Amino acid sequence: MKTIQWYPGHMAKTARQIRERLTQVDVIFELLDARAPQASRNPMMHDLTSGKPRLIFYTKADLADLTRLKPFMAEAEAEGHATLAINALKGLDVPKIVRMARTLAAPILEKEKRQGRLMRPVRAMILGIPNVGKSTLINQLVSRRVTKVGNVAGITKQLQVIRIHEHLDLLDTPGILWPKFEDQQVAVKLALLGSIKEHVVPLDDIVLMAIRWLLDYYPNRMGTYYGFTEAMDALEVLDQIGRARGCLKKGGLIDYDRVYDLYLHDLRHGRFGPIVLDGLDHDV
C-alpha cells in the first residue's frame, strides 16, 4: 500500500504558535474521535502539553462502540486526566464542562488568589486533529455559530480566543497532525474518518482495510445494511455493494470509485452501527 503522509505547511506553523501560547493557558481540552481514541491522539501535541491539566473529550460518541471505548477512557483517567464522551450535535452540559475546567485549573487559580490577583475565567486551549469536531463543540458551548462547521479536514486555519462562559475562555486552534505516521494503521484509520484529505489517500487500499476490519470484528453489520448474507471476502463485498447500490459503468462493470465514495460516506455516518477502529488489527 502507498505510504500515507499529510503535513502541510500551515500545520507546522500552527504547531509553533501552540508552543508559543501554552504559557497563556491553564487547561488543555483535547478532542479525540471516539471511533479511534488512540489513533486520533496527536503524539506530538500530547507530549508538548503533558505538563498541563487535561480534559479529554471523546467526540462523536453516538457513532462509537461504547463497550470498546470505555477501556480507553478508563486508561486516560488512570493517567490523571478528566474524560467526557460527547455528541456535540445533540447538546452539551455546558455548566458541567465549566465546572470540570475550573476544577482542573483550581491549583492555578488558588495560587493567583493568594497573590492578591482578581478572579478571572479559566483559559483553556482546544487541541485535536482535523475533522475531530472542534468547531461543532465550540458552537454548542456558546449556543451560536461562531466557527465554520464542516466535514472537511482543515477547516479552521488560525488561532482564535472565544468567550465560552463568564468563567471560561477558549483558545481554538486549527486541527493538526504530526510530520510522520510511524504506524500506517493509524494513518488508515484517520483517513477512514476523514481527518486526512482524500487526494493524498489510496482510497482502494483504505476501503479494503476497513471492510476486512468490519468483517472480522463486526460481522454481519455490512451485510445487514447492504442486504447480503453469505460469507464474502473484502473484494466480493465491494462487488456486492456496487451491484446493490447501482454503482455500475456501461456494460455492467463495477464503478469502484463510486463504491469507495459510497462506502466511506456510510462508514463515517454510522450506517453500520457504532464502531471503534482501535484494537482492530490487520497487516497494512
**Per-domain residue ranges for the chain?**
9-172, 202-268
Distance, in Å, from the CA atom of 211 to the CA atom of 261, rounded to the nearest integer, reads: 13
**pLDDT (average), residues 183-192:** 93
Same fold? 9-172, 202-268: no
Identify the pLDDT of residue 17: 86
Identify the pLDDT of residue 158: 55
Give residue 102's Cα distance to chain centre: 24
Confidence of residue 280 (pLDDT cuts 50, 70, 90): low
**Helices 184-192 and 203-217 sit at what angle, rounded to 10 degrees?**
90
**pLDDT (average), residues 164-185:** 88
Distance, in Å, from the CA atom of 151 to the CA atom of 172, rounded to the nearest integer, reads: 17
What CATH architecture is 202-268? Orthogonal Bundle (1.10)
**Cell numbers for 239:** 462487488
Taking 70 as the threshold, does the pLDDT of residue 128 lie above it? yes
Taking 50 as the threshold, does the pLDDT of residue 192 lie above it? yes
Q: How confident is the model over 63-100, as pLDDT tens digits?
A: 999 999 999 999 999 999 999 999 866 778 889 999 99
**pLDDT (average), residues 210-230:** 91
What CATH architecture is 9-172? 3-Layer(aba) Sandwich (3.40)
3-state helix, strand, coil in the chain (%, to 5): 45, 15, 40
Confidence of residue 151 (pLDDT cuts 50, 70, 90): very low
**pLDDT (average), residues 119-124:** 93
CB 83 within 8 A of CB 56: yes
Cα separations in angstroms, 236 against 48, 224, 227, 241, 250:
45, 15, 13, 9, 20
Averaged pLDDT of the chain: 88
Confidence of residue 148 (pLDDT cuts 50, 70, 90): very low
Identify the pLDDT of residue 189: 95
**pLDDT (average), residues 228-241:** 89
**pLDDT (average), residues 99-126:** 94
Identify the pLDDT of residue 284: 45
Taking 50 as the threshold, does the pLDDT of residue 156 lie above it? no
**pLDDT (average), residues 242-255:** 93
Taking 80 as the threshold, does the pLDDT of residue 246 lie above it? yes
Taking 70 as the threshold, does the pLDDT of residue 21 lie above it? yes
